[in-house]
Amino acid sequence: MATTAFIPKIWSARLLAHLDKAHVFKQVVNTDYQGDVTKGGSVQITQIGDITVKDYSRTASIDSPENIDGSALVLNIDQEKYFNFKVTDVDQLQSAPSLMDAAMQRAAYALADTADSYIAGLYTGAGTTITKTDIGHASGDNPAYDLIIEVDQKLNEKNASRVGRWMVVPPWMHAELMLDETYKQSWQNYIVTGQIPTVSGIQILMSNNLVVDTLAYEMLAGTREAISYAEQIMSMEAYRPESGFEDAVKGLHVYGAKVVQPNSLVRITGTRSTD
């Protein structure tokens, strides 16, 4: 049987590599708990509360030590997705990396797209909400650019880290930003250097996986600390379907994501202008 030469570790590694390339939202979340993933399990994330700073007097005893509030958040690994496709000869695919890459890349893209959409749907956990209507270019103004400046302000007001700030926008808003000469120059630099364009220190990324209702798009902005994400390829198998004469490959991808720092995440409900 051709499947006897199947090497699951090689295929799993290639699949995860393709997932890294295909994700958009995975670029802006943290994966601090990646090694703790188990199928159908959860990860306990302990958060330490504020510590009080008090006045000191040489003539008085200090207070008793505070109890540290180690409240726990639970990151549930509750998303389980699989692929299952038939190939003519697994041995042939493994001896021809370009063919194997093509097949696995299509499977990886489908898995990544599903996970990406899942993370995009976490906008309801944001600590700050901005609502903007009629985002378009008119009268020499650029409300899309101004919106990003407001996002920066909101993050500053929440004491969010200035390191690793990001915002994910739909393609039409990116087009609006391109009408600003400063942003346009940043985009031209990106083509040459690969450095992601920024506005007020916020990296701007595009995605077609943002949640949308007619012309209202649920955009997200924040820092890498805002959302925790963990994933794992739990299983990769080659087998011989009883109903045919082909070899087949199937894989199981498990993952979970959670907003762990709401004050570092901004939800922007932006309505596209029809003008």
**For residues 197-203, average pLDDT:** 91
What is the extent of the structural domain holding 215?
A: 126-225+263-272
Task: Identify the CATH number of the domain in which residue 205 sits.
Answer: 3.30.2320
Please indicate, yes or no, whether residues 9 and 46 belong to a single structural domain of this protein: yes
Mean pLDDT, the chain, integer:
85
Please indicate, yes or no, whether residues 199 and 141 belong to a single structural domain of this protein: yes
Q: Quick check: 97 pLDDT over 80?
A: no
| Cβ atoms of 258 and 226 closer than 8 Å | no
Q: Residue 190 has what pLDDT? A: 83
Q: Residue 63 has what pLDDT? A: 87
Q: Quick check: 6 pLDDT over 90?
A: no
Q: Quick check: 113 pLDDT over 50?
A: yes
**For residues 233-258, average pLDDT:** 86
- Asked whether residue 80 is domain-assigned, the answer is yes
Please indicate, yes or no, whether residues 23 and 157 belong to a single structural domain of this protein: no
- Asked whether residue 61 is domain-assigned, the answer is no
Q: Residue 139 has what pLDDT? A: 46
| Residue 242, token pair as written in the block | 């009883």
Q: What is the domain count for the chain? A: 2
Which of the two residues, 274 and 227, has the higher pLDDT score?
Answer: 227
Q: Residue 118 has what pLDDT? A: 96
- Asked whether residue 63 is domain-assigned, the answer is no
Most confident range (mean pLDDT) of 36-50, 74-88, 210-224 is: 210-224
- Residue 62: count of CB within 10 angstroms of its CB: 9
Using left for φ > 0, alpha for ψ between -120 and 50, and beta otherwise, residue 77 falls in beta
Q: Residue 224 has what pLDDT? A: 95
Measured CA to CA, the distance from residue 16 to residue 25 in angstroms comes to 15
| Cβ atoms of 201 and 151 closer than 8 Å | no
**For residues 183-197, average pLDDT:** 84
Q: Quick check: 163 pLDDT over 80?
A: yes
H or E element at residue 233: strand 227-239
Q: Quick check: 179 pLDDT over 90?
A: no
Please indicate, yes or no, whether residues 209 and 234 belong to a single structural domain of this protein: no
Contacts 24+ apart (CB under 8 A), 197-200: 199/145, 199/148, 199/149, 199/152, 199/167, 200/148, 200/149, 200/152
**For residues 24-29, average pLDDT:** 92
Please indicate, yes or no, whether residues 6 and 117 belong to a single structural domain of this protein: yes
- Low-confidence winner among 78-92, 223-237, 258-272 (lowest mean pLDDT): 78-92
